[in-house]
Amino acid sequence: MSIAVFLDRDGTLNEEVGYISNLEELKLIPGAAEAISKLNDAKIYAILTTNQSGPARGYYDEAHVQDLNNRLITLLKAESGAWLDAVYYCPHLPDGVNTDYAQDCSCRKPEPGMIQEALKNFPDIVLEKSYVIGDKATDIEFAVNSGCKGILLRTGYGEKVLQGDYQELNVRPHLICRDIVEAVNRILTEVNA
């Protein structure tokens, strides 16, 4: 039986800068690579689960989302040899302008579809012992909807969420942490207790 950490991307692993059109704009949050490396060393799955509605909004094509995810993977490896065990993303948005992606789906957070997909590939994951880390209220709802523990970060949109200025936090997070570094350290303390 294994533990997974399901990670948001923007504002969690890389700096929140809005919709990224230029690949070089994707920059890691300080300490993110080392934090993921600690999960790798602890044999905890590090799985990216990210809403990426840029294609649905007509900002760029789906291949660009994949290029951004690949840049993230490259930066994690280059900085500390860290890796992601899997990458899942949702390109959909119900009211998107690109009709190929304008749909209700089960993969857009807070729906649990991406984690359900991960379970098909990693059937040893125990959800009640696993975590979701993100900077939005929808990440915490995603955790609850999936049976995981949700950790809200203060990076990205997190501080605005806590102040009530962005999304409504209707579900209490398991933890609120300064950043991905603190979140991973807290997880490792809990799982080793």
Based on the residue annotation, tell me whether 139 is a catalytic residue of this protein.
no
Q: Most distant CA pair in the chain: distance in Å? A: 49
What whole-number distance in Å separates Cα of residue 25 and Cα of residue 79? 17
Query: Residue-wise over 30-41: b if at least 16 C-beta within 10 A, else e?
Result: ebbbbbbbbbbe
Handedness of CA 29, 31, 35, 38 (dihedral sign): positive
Catalytically annotated residue among 8, 135, 139, 179: 8
- Partners of 90 in the beta sheet? 51
Catalytic residue at 10? yes
Tokens at 85, concatenated = 């065990």
Catalytic residue selected from 10, 135, 139, 179: 10
Catalytic residues: 8, 10
